[in-house]
Amino acid sequence: MYRLITLFICCTLMIMGCRKNSDGKFAAKLFETKLKQACQEANRLMEIKRAKSGRVGEAMTTEDYVGFMNEIEADQIVQPLIEPSAQFLQSYYEINIYEYLPVGSPKIAQIGALAMRLQQLEDQGQSIDTSAAAYWFVPPVEMVSQANGEMLTNAANPSIFDCALDALGIPAGILLGAAKSYTRAALIKAARKLATRTLGWIGVGIAIYEFGDCMNWW
């Protein structure tokens, strides 16, 4: 009887684990689909604005793009990502993002995009280096070296640069040897860090656009 009860419990836990893993993968796929749609919508907006301004084919900075998106447009791009992002973080990484960011915050979409990219790196056997977290979500500040006049930046110098992470505000290197627990810890650290930053709808909208550009989604 004892063996039968133990076997029943083990089977139940296995079924629950499989169902949980399936739910997490579904939430991840759903969020990725919506994120691609948002990125492509942001790109369509930017192409229209570039054409109207006569800057088609011209190299532009993040600061240039800020003037190409108003708050209403940014809301239309970012808003559909917020709830799917929260569901993805909860289902796949067991992170209740509302413990770190308020309901409806556009930053939730940014953390969701970050989670999706880290999940991809995790699947490739890589994890993010959190030792440079002090530089996360900090806009680069250019400085001139007094010694040789060389242009410097306040961002860390990553050993391996990832454009998509940088677009979301993580100018950090990637380390080999991934584990889901490492990714989860990095996301919690990122959520806490982002919660202290002033970033509105337009800032997140531009980040989503630049993320899509790095991912070659158009």
Looking at the predicted structure, is the pLDDT value of residue 160 above 80? Answer: no
pLDDT digits (tens, 9 = 90+) for 101-115: 999 999 999 999 999
* Per-residue model confidence as pLDDT tens digits over 37-91: 999 999 999 999 999 998 888 888 888 888 899 999 999 999 999 999 999 999 9
Nearest to 192 by CA among 133, 122, 149: 133
Can you give the residue range of the structural domain that contains 181? 26-53+60-214
Q: How far apart are the first and last CA of the chain?
A: 60
Residue 125 or 147, more confident: 125
Q: How many domains does the chain have?
A: 1
Is residue 18 in a domain? Answer: no
Checking if the pLDDT of 17 tops 60, the result is no
Residue 5 lies in a domain: no
* Residue 16 maps to a domain: no
Q: Determine, yes or no, domain membership for 84.
A: yes
Query: pLDDT digit string (tens) for 182-213?
Result: 999 999 999 999 999 988 999 999 999 999 99
**Taking every pair of C-alpha atoms in the chain, what is the biggest distance, in angstroms?**
80
Question: Quick one: pLDDT at residue 54?
Answer: 87
> How high is the mean pLDDT of the chain?
85
Q: Quick one: pLDDT at residue 82?
A: 98
In a domain, 40, yes or no: yes
Distance, in Å, from the CA atom of 27 to the CA atom of 30, rounded to the nearest integer, reads 5
CB 172 within 8 A of CB 210: no
In a domain, 123, yes or no: yes
